[in-house]
Amino acid sequence: MTDSAGPGSAAARQRRQEARRVLFPLLRALGSTVGLVAIYYLLPLDRASLGSVVAILGAGLMGLVGLVAYQVRAIIKAPYPALRAVGALATSAPLFLLLFAGTYFVASGISASNFNAPLTRTDALYFTVTVFATVGFGDIVATSEGARVLVMGQMVVDVIIVGIGAKIIVDAVRHGREKQLTEAGESQDQD
């Protein structure tokens, strides 16, 4: 008997393995995004004070920095750095946006004067995304000085994330690919 190229062949198994390597990180990213959104909608934010939420925002942003540092290392070590970077962004970006959305939701509940209209969780998330995307439709507006300071803080961090954060992720992907090429070259030299 001779080897056939049927479904049980080594080539077919390798294709299935490659498909799993691509699919698993994408499903993990989707799962983490869905999980973060579910947590946002389930947290009892309507009972929080502005001070506690600002403290949580600060701690969350520090945690986000730690998460990104971990993700950069994981991107460099990953067999598919670009795919790992997509997964990292799919986790970090929603976390960042939801941290600010939660803060805006609480600020709106504490004082009706913080925004031009009361914000639901969805309204707060919508407002956060429009600020992040620099769209600013004007339908929701920060009206108090404190709310404006929070929005300015988000704007500053947005610029940092888009500028520096994107560069860090792209550099990690490049470094990961260079590392793979170096290891592949060393492997071939040893053969």
Q: Which amino acid type is present at position 85?
A: A
Query: Of the ranges 42-46, 49-53, 73-77, 160-164, which one carries the lowest mean pLDDT score?
Result: 49-53
Task: State the number of CA atoms in the 13 A half-sphere of 80 facing the CB.
Answer: 14
Q: How far apart are CA 41 and CA 55, in angstroms?
A: 19
Chain segment 12-33, per-residue pLDDT in tens: 888 888 888 878 878 888 999 9
Q: What is the mean pLDDT of the chain?
A: 87
Residue 64 DSSP code: H
pLDDT at 1: 46
Q: How far apart are CA 53 and CA 73, in angstroms?
A: 30
Q: What's the first-to-final CA gap in the chain, in angstroms?
A: 31
Burial-class residue 84 by CB neighbours within 10 Å (0-12, 13-18, 19+).
Answer: buried
Chain segment 99-111, per-residue pLDDT in tens: 999 999 999 999 9
Chain segment 83-140, per-residue pLDDT in tens: 888 888 888 999 999 999 999 999 999 999 999 999 999 999 999 999 999 998 999 9
pLDDT at 109: 92
pTM of the model: 0.81
Determine phi and psi for 115, rounding to 5 degrees.
Answer: -135, 160
Domain ranges of the chain: 12-190
Token look-up 């998460």 returns 67
Report the pLDDT averaged over residues 50-69: 88
